[in-house]
Amino acid sequence: MSAEPKQPHLEQQFRGMAQGAQSLATAYIGVVNGLFAGLKRLGGTEAAALAAATGMDAAYVRRWCDAAFAFGYLEVEGEMFRLGESGAAMLPDAPGTLMPIAVQAMLNMHMAERAAALMRSGARPGEQVMAERETLLPWFGPMLEASFAEFFERTICPGVPIFAEVDARGGLVVDLGCGNGWYLRALARRCHAAHGLGLDGFDENIAQATRLAAAAGFGDRLRFASGDAHAFSLDAPADIIAMSRALHHVWEAGGASFIRRLRDNLRPGGAAVIWEPNWPADRASLRAPAWRGLAFQNLSEHVQGNHLLGAGEIASAFAAEGMPPEIYRFAEGREAVIVARRPG
C-alpha cells in the first residue's frame, strides 16, 4: 500500500513539470535530427520511411515517433504518422517557431549537469562548455536568431536612434561575438550602405554565419572571421562596434581594458552599441515568471566564466573611459541597449 502524499497539489505540480521536461526533450530530438521537417516533407509516413528520409536509425526513430505521439507532436492512423499542431510549431522555419524553447531547455539541462558537478571544485571551464554536446552548438545560433531577431527589427531598431544613423550613413559595423551572424544580416537588410565584419570564438559559428550571409545575398557586404574578442584589432576604425548578448562573455577577463579596446577601434564619433539582458538591481524581481529564466541563465553563465551585468554597471564602465553612455530599456527592463560614443 503506498502512502498518501502529504502535499498532493505539489506532487501533481512537480509531475506536470517533469512531463514538460520530457516533452521538450522529445521535441529537441526531433528538431536537431530534422524529424519534424522530414514529416512535413513526407506528409503521412511510417517510422521506417521517416528514418530513411532523414538518414537516421530506424529503431531509434520508431521509439521517437511513439514518444512524439504520446506528447502530442504527432498524430497517427495505423502506422502512418503525421505532424500535429505542436509538431508543426517546432519546425525551425515556421513563423514564430517554438524550436528555441526546446533547444534552450536542452541547453539548460546540459548546463545544470555541469554546474552540479563543478560546484564541488569551483572550476569554471569557460566557453568550451557550449561545444561539449555535439548536437547543441549547431543549434545555438538558430535558437538565438529565432528568439531575438524579430524583437531586434521590430522594437530595438526603431527604439534606439543610432540605428537610424546607421541607415542614413552606412559605414563599417563590427559585431563581436557574432554567433551565426543574424544581427549583421538584419542590419544589412535595413541599411544598404553598411558593411559588416563579425568575429566569434567558435569556428562552427563563423561557418554558419558565412553560409547564411551568402544565402541571404550579403556575401559581398558581410565578412566573418574566427577570433578572440579580447585580442581583436581592426585595420580601419569602425563606425559601430556592436555586441549582442556578448559583452558579459568577455567582462570578467576583460573589464576596463576591454572597454578601452572598443574605444580605440572606433573612429571619433563612432559608437559601441551593447545589447545585454539586464541583471536586476533587486533580487525580488527574479521571482517574477518573466525574470526567472535570467536567474538560471546566470547560474549557467558562471560555468562559462561569465556573469550577467546590470545596464548601470555597463554604462558606468563606458563613462569611466570617456565615452558618455545612453541606456535604452525594453521588455519591462529585462533587455537593455547601451550606446556609448567615442568623442568626435
Q: Which residues bind ligand SAM (CB under 6 A)?
A: 127, 144, 177-179, 182-183, 199-202, 205, 228-230, 244-246, 249-250
Strand 325-330 vs strand 335-341: parallel, antiparallel, or unpaired? antiparallel
From the CB of 242, what's the least distance to ligand SAM, in Å? 8
From the CB of 172, what's the least distance to ligand SAM, in Å? 17
From the CB of 135, what's the least distance to ligand SAM, in Å? 17
Give the CA angle between residues 19, 295, 272 to the nearest 5°.
125
Strand 222-226 vs strand 194-200: parallel, antiparallel, or unpaired? parallel
Tell me if 178 sits within 8 A of 209, measured CB to CB.
yes
From the CB of 332, what's the least distance to ligand SAM, in Å? 20
**Based on CB atoms, which residue is closest to ligand SAM, 37 or 229?**
229
From the CB of 40, what's the least distance to ligand SAM, in Å? 26
**Based on CB atoms, which residue is closest to ligand SAM, 87 or 201?**
201
**Based on CB atoms, which residue is closest to ligand SAM, 178 or 266?**
178
**Based on CB atoms, which residue is closest to ligand SAM, 98 or 156?**
156
Closest by alpha carbon to 308, among 284, 283, 270, 277? 277
Closest by alpha carbon to 92, among 42, 32, 150? 32
Cell 576583460 locates to 254
Which of helix, strand or coil describes residue 32? helix
Report the C-alpha gap between 188 and 228 in whole angstroms: 24
**Based on CB atoms, which residue is closest to ligand SAM, 200 or 335?**
200
CA distances from 148 to 17, 43, 70, 120, 141 (A): 26, 30, 31, 34, 11
From the CB of 44, what's the least distance to ligand SAM, in Å? 36
**Based on CB atoms, which residue is closest to ligand SAM, 270 or 277?**
277
Tell me how far the alpha carbon of residue 83 is from its chain's centroid: 26
